[in-house]
Amino acid sequence: MALHQKQIALESIKDQDWTGKKVLDIGCSNGNLSLRVMRKTNAEELCGVDTAMDRISKACALANNNPTEKLSFFVANADNLKKIANDSFDIVFSNMAFRQFKDKQKSLEEIHRVLKRGGEAFINFNIEKSPTWYQQEVVYNKLFGDPNKEVSRAKNFDSSEFEPMVQKAGFTEIDIKIFDNVYYYQKFDEAVDENDDNFFAKEKGLTLEQNRKLNSELEKYMESTREEKGIPESWKIMFVKLRK
């Protein structure tokens, strides 16, 4: 998970005290952020789920290396949390994963189901492509596809649809805020780390050599945008807080 995603996650929970709370992290990746969230909020227990077995394997290793923390992880889709009983968690947390949920409506219904009465869900996601992701697609088209193909800055989900979906899932207390944020990378590796890099490469079916070539071109572009504070990355983020 790249630096900006971690910053967004920590910003969204900066005032939260989850002492004694049981937390479900949907889209937990390798678990590193899950552990930071747990410690920052003083949560008692955290369970993380992700669709990728390789990421969950790393998360389980992390849990084994931190035996004093009540951490657990398993593979699951957000729209099918059948291993989890109704009313199991005080908090559901999902950072920058909602757009990858295959069935978004069912996922929201599952989040509602596994939350205890009075429980809260914190869901963050971007509603526009970041400059890095946009430029990845531009460079990909230039190198391996149609260089004249127009790349949309919009994401594949209309954010205006979100509140009706949440209401349909059963939530009545809904707090939605949209933030324009700029983050600054000090080096290219902070922008495209292993997980983001692999995700884009797998989605496009790139070979290792193709991926190296793409990243070399992307790094040149990003360095050309460098300012005094670093390489800027602007994000339009939706922060959502729901209560059951």
**What's 188's domain CATH number?**
3.40.50.150
Q: What is the pLDDT along the chain (244 residues), one digit of tens a residue?
A: 566 778 889 889 989 999 999 999 999 999 999 999 999 999 999 999 999 999 999 999 999 999 999 999 999 999 999 999 999 999 999 999 998 899 999 999 999 999 999 999 999 998 887 788 889 899 999 999 899 998 887 766 677 889 999 999 999 999 999 888 888 889 988 877 655 556 778 788 899 899 999 999 999 999 999 999 999 988 888 999 999 9
pTM of the entire structure? 0.85
Task: Give yes or no for a contact between 29 and 55, defined as CB atoms under 8 angstroms apart.
Answer: yes
Q: Where are the alpha helices (DSSP H) in the chain?
A: 3-12, 32-41, 53-65, 104-114, 131-144, 162-169, 188-191, 194-204, 208-224
Short-list 53, 3, 64, CA closest to 28: 53
* Rounded to 5°, angle at Cα 100 from 168 and 46: 80
Number of domains present in the structure of the chain: 1
Domain coverage including residue 112: 3-243
Tens of pLDDT along 140-152?
Answer: 999 998 999 988 8
Cα angle: 128, vertex 132, 137; to 5 degrees: 85
